[in-house]
Amino acid sequence: MNHLDPVRHVRGESSYLDDIPVQQGTLYAAVFEAAVAHGRLRGLDLAAARAAPGVVRILTAHDVPGENQIGGIVPDEPVLAEGTVHFRGQPIALVLAHTERQAQAALHLIKADIEPLPIITDPRVAAAHNELIVPPRTFRLGDSRTAWADCTHVFEGVAESGGQEHLYIETQGAYAFPTEMGGVRIVSSTQGPTAVQRHTAHVLGIGMHQVEVDVTRLGGGFGGKEDQATPWGVLAALGAFLTRRPVKLVLDRMADMRMTGKRHPYSSDFRIGLDTDLKIVAYEVTFYQNAGAAADLSPAVLERTLFHCTNSYFIPNVTATAYSCRTNLPPNTAFRGFGGPQGMFVIESAIAKAAEELGVPASEIQRRNLLRENDLLPYRQPAEMCHAEQAWDTAADLYNLPRLREEVAEFNQQNERLKKGLSVMPICFGISFTKTPMNQSRALVHIYTDGTVGVSTGAVEMGQGVNTKIAQVAAQTLGISIDRVKVESTNTTRVANTSPSAASATADLNGKATEMACQALRERLLRHASTEYTLNYEGLEIRDEQVLAAGVPAETTWEKLVSSAYWRRVSLTENAHYATPDIHFDATIEQGYPFAYHVYGTALTVVTVDCLRGTYELDAVHIAHDFGQSMNPAVDRGQIEGGAVQGIGWMTMEELIYNEEGRLLSNSLNSYKIPDLYAAPKVLDVHFLDTPGHPRAIFRSKAVGEPPLMYGIGAYFAIRDAVRAFRSGHQPTFSAPFTPEKVLLNLYPPVSARSAAAWPSVS
- Those residues whose C-beta lies under 8 Å from the C-beta of residue 724, and which sit 6 or more positions away, are 356, 421, 730, 731
Minimal distance, residue 738 CB to ligand MOS, in Å = 23
Spell out the residues 6+ positions from residue 329 whose beta carbon is closer than 8 angstroms to its own: 37, 87, 121, 261, 290, 292, 293, 658, 662
CB of 302 to ligand LUZ, least distance (A): 11
Which residue lies nearer to ligand MOS by CB, 338 or 585?
338
- Does the protein bind ligand MOS through residue 307 (CB under 6 A)? no
Distance CA 42, CA 27 (A): 29
Nearest-approach distance from CB 235 to ligand LUZ, in angstroms: 22
Please state at what angle helix 713-726 crosses helix 340-358, rounded to 10 degrees.
30
**Interface with ligand MOS (CB under 6 A), residue from 89, 123, 223, 675:** 223
Choose one: 314-322, 334-342, 452-460, 594-602; the region binding ligand MOS (CB under 6 A): 334-342
CB of 298 to ligand LUZ, least distance (A): 11
Burial of 145 (0-12, 13-18, 19+ CB in 10 A): exposed
Shorter beta-carbon distance to ligand LUZ: residue 472 or 499: 499
Please tell me whether residue 336 binds ligand MOS under the rule CB under 6 A. Answer: yes
Question: Does residue 737 have a cis bond before it (omega within 30 degrees)?
Answer: yes
Q: In 3-state terms, the chain is what percent helix, strand and coil (to 5)?
A: 35, 25, 40
Determine the residue with CB nearest ligand MOS: 223
Q: Which of residues 463-492 bind ligand MOS (CB under 6 A)?
A: none
Q: Which residue in 58, 54, 57, 56 sits closest to 99, CA to CA?
A: 54
Helix (H/G/I), strand (E/B), else coil: 759: coil
Q: Binder to ligand MOS among 34, 103, 114, 503 (CB under 6 A)?
A: 503
Which residue in 170, 226, 654, 706 is the catalytic one? 706
Taking CB under 6 A as the binding criterion, the range among 27-35, 335-343, 509-517, 612-620 that sits at the site for ligand MOS is: 335-343
Nearest-approach distance from CB 319 to ligand LUZ, in angstroms = 22
**Minimum distance from CB of 301 to ligand MOS (Å)?**
8
Which among ligand MOS, ligand LUZ, none contacts residue 191 (Cβ within 5 to 8 A by kind)? Answer: ligand MOS
Chain residues that interact with ligand LUZ, rule: CB under 6 A: 223, 226, 297, 300, 304, 334, 338, 433-435, 502-503, 706
Report the C-alpha gap between 497 and 195 in whole angstroms. Answer: 9
77 catalytic? Reply is no
Residue 589 C-beta: closest distance to ligand LUZ, Å: 19
| Residue 304 touches ligand MOS, criterion: CB under 6 A | no
Give the HSE-up count for residue 500: Cα atoms under 13 Å, Cβ half-sphere: 27
Distance, CA of 56 to CA of 240 (rounded, Å): 12
- DSSP class of 438: G
Binding-site string for ligand MOS from residue 268 to residue 297, where x marks contact by CB under 6 A and - marks none:
------------------------------
The answer to whether the beta carbons of residues 327 and 291 sit under 8 Å apart is: yes
Phi, psi of 619 (to 5 degrees): -70, -45
Per-position x/- string for 175-204, each x denoting binding to ligand MOS as judged by CB under 6 A, each - no binding: ----------------x-------------
The partner in contact with residue 434, picked from ligand LUZ, ligand MOS, none with C-beta cut-offs of 5 to 8 angstroms by kind, is ligand LUZ
Question: Which of ligand MOS, ligand LUZ, none has residue 177 at its interface (CB below 5 to 8 Å by kind)?
Answer: none
22 DSSP 8-state letter: P
Q: What is the DSSP letter of 756?
A: G
Is 502 one of the binding residues for ligand MOS (CB under 6 A)?
Answer: yes
In terms of C-beta distances under 8 Å and separation of at least 24 residues, what long-range contacts does 401-408 make, across chains too?
401/363, 401/604, 404/604, 404/606, 405/361, 408/606, 408/721, 408/725
Catalog residues that contact ligand MOS under the rule CB under 6 A. Answer: 191, 223, 226, 334-336, 338, 502-503, 706
Catalytic residues: 706
